[in-house]
Chain A
Amino acid sequence: MAWLPLAFATVVVLLPTLLHRWEHARISPHLPRKPWAHGVWAIVLALISSFVGALFVLSIARGHVANVVPLGLIILLLFPWPITRGLLIPLGAVRAAWNLTQLAGWTWRGDVGGGQFVAGAWALLRRRSIDPRTIAWLAARRDELPALEGAGVLGSALLASCLHDREQARRLMRSVASFDEDHCPPIATFLANEWRIADAAARGEWAEVEMLGRAPHRRSRAARLLGAIAARLIDYPPVPGGLHLLALWLLAPSRIANLTLLRRALASPVGLESSKPTTRATAKPIDPDALLATHARTLVQPRVGTAQVLALASAWDRALTDPSLRNQTIRRSLALRGGDPEQVLLELGRQIERDLAAMARSARIPLATLERAEAPEALRRVARELRHELLDELALACEVLDRRVRERKALPALDELREFLAVQDQYERVHRLGGGELLRIAFSQAHDPLCNLAVWLWDERGETAIANAMFRWLLNEATVVGDEEAVALQRRNIACG
């Protein structure tokens, strides 16, 4: 009769598991589809499984070694997400991770399909080489999801990262924070935040790392360490001391990998700002050759800093009116017996201005800095151009989107979200560079097209999760610009669910 407890336990484990799955598929006659019901059912299942697991442990202790197999199954049932996260994802086992996450209803708050997609995409990201067939398989699983919610967007971002589309991945990850709790499990928000911290640290955007890594929401130990290191590197108060950093480093995983960064942070002095020179030496006379060399070197650099552009523009402002450059050009013109030096200097000035405009764009210098009274004339002209450009680009993007929505040309849900995020990105660029003054104009341009898109998705397409995320973002922006009418409208829209 040794088989009797085994049969009993198998039935006790299998039955609740099947019921649990049916409940996810919305065909369970036992429980309504409510979040609390998911929680209660998961607790009941966990208690039954724990009890049965304890019986198996006792049985194994008495010498029934065969019971190791059902005990293993019980452990899989009890800890599906920790096993997926700690074992299958690091191994890059895409299908195994996808399958086991089916049991992680508790972790993914019922959005099991989205969780499976995230687990699969993450496992794929951990592989050494990425197989296009696996990407296609995962994309097909995503298309089978009933509606795109927070976890689906997180998985899509991971898939974009697998395809090395970092910009798209970044936008999608940022949008995960806009989903409300009903449409996005906390673990999706947590993972999106962790990914953004890692991505910002890899790019050297330490201000962003500090903001995300020290925010008062759930963070991993590694994220806490990166947040503190970022604060130390950019000297952002409260600046963590050496001992604090050391303690965080000891607590975080991957200590060897983090050691170089820790050393760099410890080497960076605290209170650097006061010792930094505010301006470069400007009293020195301008050497046109040296300036041309600096300019040419800046053009071939991959990244340009704000201070560098300002210093260069200021130097050019003086050099183009300096007699030595003019004299040098006249001398060469006489030697060549041809060429109008005035025209050459005019052409040089035009080239310089075009270059400075491109550098200002690339360095993302705010318009307020370019338009300051003491800013060089060349940069003030650049600022005027940039102001028109920023608003024109946003208006164009909004117009294209609005026309498509009016013509009811539907795209897949993820592409609709991408279109929204592209306009949002443009809008945020206007905000970043143009400040509050341009933001009001930008909001008045972007509000109606984006709101129409969200309403269409909610009313006619049933994509309530992404529509709700769009309403929430619009409400936030309406509050920032102080548009009372839009605030009231978006509050009503969000109340729809």
Chain B
Amino acid sequence: MTAEMRARVLDNPFYVLELAPECSRAEVERAGQKLLAMLELDMAGARHYPTPFGVGRRDAAKVREATAELRDPQRRLLHELWVSGCAAIDLAEDTSDENEAESLGFERAPTSLGWRR
């Protein structure tokens, strides 16, 4: 998948600010301010955030952008849809595993045929 798509999933403003989809506008502002201050002080844990797909990397620009996105109700609604959906991530687990198993390669083939050590 393209980097833009991965970023759209991993850099959802709710993940960046570590907020629940039902949070209030005041909570958004508070989380934004708090994270900017933590980044300024270079505090432990400020540089990374958890997502259902792995750990994301946080910086001040990303926090400002996330706060701006959640201030706009129209944009927020769209991000909410994705985040609330990803709470049911277990369902997606099965299909991906199945797909990986189907496309499993034999990495030692070049060694077996004498092309690599």
Q: Do A and B come from one complex?
A: yes
Q: For residue A329, give the distance in angstroms from its CB to the closest CB of chain B.
A: 6
User: Which B residues lie within 8 Å of A92 (CB)?
Assistant: 117
List of A residues within 8 angstroms of B115 by Cβ: 122, 125-126, 161, 194-195, 198
Q: Is A293 an interface residue (CB 8 A)?
A: yes
Inter-chain contact B76/A297, CB cutoff 8 Å? no
A129 → chain B closest CB, angstroms = 11
Q: Are A339 and B92 in contact (CB under 8 A)?
A: no
State which of B31-39, B59-67, B101-109 sits at the interface with chain A: B101-109
Q: Is the CB of B6 within 8 A of A300?
A: yes
Which residues of chain B in 72-98 are interfacial with respect to chain A, using CB atoms and an 8 Å cutoff?
Answer: 73-74, 76-78, 80-82, 84-89, 91-93, 95-96
Decide: B103 and A303 in contact? CB cutoff 8 A.
yes
For B116, what are the chain A residues with a Cβ–Cβ distance below 8 Å?
A: 125-126
For chain A, give the interface size range: 35 or more
- Give A89 to B115 CA distance when docked, in angstroms: 10
Q: Distance (Å) between the CB of B82 and the closest chain A CB?
A: 6
Interface size on B, residues (CB 8 A): 47
If A195-B115, A300-B1, A339-B74 touch, whether A202 touches B103 (CB-CB below 8 Å) is: no
Q: How far is the CA of A76 from the CA of B110 in the complex (A)?
A: 28
* Main DSSP-derived SS at the A contact region: helix
A121 smallest CB distance to B (angstroms) = 11
Q: Is A337 an interface residue (CB 8 A)?
A: yes
- Asked if A292 and B1 make an inter-chain contact with CB atoms under 8 angstroms apart, the answer reads no
The answer to whether B5 touches A289, judged by C-beta atoms less than 8 angstroms apart, is no
Q: Choose one: B2, B8, B87, B107; the contact of A289 (CB below 8 Å).
A: B87
In the complex with contacts A125-B115, A199-B110, A204-B104 CB distance below 8 A: yes
Of A254-262, A381-389, A469-477, the one contacting chain B is A254-262
> Once the chains bind, are B74 and A297 in contact (CB under 8 Å)?
no
| Centre residue among A126, A198, A340 by max chain B CB count within 10 A | A198
Instruction: Say whether B106 contacts A261, CB under 8 Å.
Output: yes
Is B113 within 8 A of A290, CB to CB?
no
Bound-complex Cα distance A125 to B114 (A): 10
B109's contact among A226, A295, A300, by CB below 8 Å, is which?
A226
Instruction: Name the residue on A nearest B54 (C-beta).
Output: A300
Contact between B99 and A308, CB atoms less than 8 A apart: yes
A282–chain B nearest beta-carbon distance, Å? 14
Q: How far is the CB of B100 from chain A (nearest CB, A)?
A: 8
Known: A296-B9, A338-B74. A358 touches B1 (CB 8 A): yes
Interface pair B8/A344, CB less than 8 Å apart: no
User: Which of A195, A197, A301, A355 has the most chain B CB atoms closer than 10 A to its own CB?
Assistant: A301
In whole Å, how far is B42's beta carbon from the nearest beta carbon of chain A?
A: 29
- The reply on A341 being an interface residue by CB < 8 A is yes
**Structural contact, A296 and B2, CB atoms closer than 8 A:** no
Looking at chain B's contact residues, is the secondary structure mostly helix, strand, loop, or mixed? helix
Contact B9 A198 (CB under 8 A): no
Query: Nearest Cβ in chain B — how far from A265, in angstroms?
Result: 10
CB-contact partner of A202 in B6, B81, B107, under 8 A: B107
A90 CA to B117 CA in the complex, in Å?
7
Asked if A300 and B10 make an inter-chain contact with CB atoms under 8 angstroms apart, the answer reads: yes
In the bound complex, residues from chain B placing their C-beta under 8 Å from that of A203 are 105
Closest to A206 in B: B105
- Does A438 interact with chain B (Cβ within 8 Å)? no
Please provide the chain B residues from 28 to 73 with a CB less than 8 Å away from any CB of chain A in the complex: 52-54, 73
Which residues of chain B are near A336, meaning CB under 8 Å?
A: 73, 76-77
Q: Given that A125-B115, A198-B109, A254-B111 are known contacts, is A296 also in contact with B74, CB under 8 Å in the complex?
A: no
Chain B residues at the A interface, C-beta cutoff of 8 Å: 1-2, 5-6, 8-10, 52-54, 73-74, 76-78, 80-82, 84-89, 91-93, 95-96, 99-100, 102-117
Can you list 30 A-B contacts (CB < 8 A)? A90-B114, A92-B117, A195-B113, A198-B112, A201-B106, A222-B114, A226-B112, A253-B112, A254-B111, A257-B108, A257-B111, A261-B106, A261-B108, A290-B88, A292-B88, A295-B85, A296-B9, A296-B53, A297-B53, A298-B92, A300-B1, A300-B6, A301-B1, A304-B99, A336-B73, A343-B74, A344-B74, A344-B81, A355-B5, A358-B5
Residues on A lying within 8 angstroms of B by beta carbon are 89-90, 92, 122, 125-128, 161, 194-195, 197-199, 201-205, 220, 222-223, 226, 252-254, 257-258, 260-261, 264, 287-305, 308, 311, 328-329, 332-333, 336-341, 343-344, 347-348, 351, 355, 358-359, 362
The 4 closest A-B CB pairs, nearest first, are A292-B85, A338-B73, A204-B105, A297-B92
Known: A198-B113, A260-B108, A347-B78; 9 extra A-B contacts, CB below 8 A, are: A201-B109, A296-B92, A299-B1, A303-B99, A303-B100, A339-B73, A344-B77, A344-B78, A358-B5
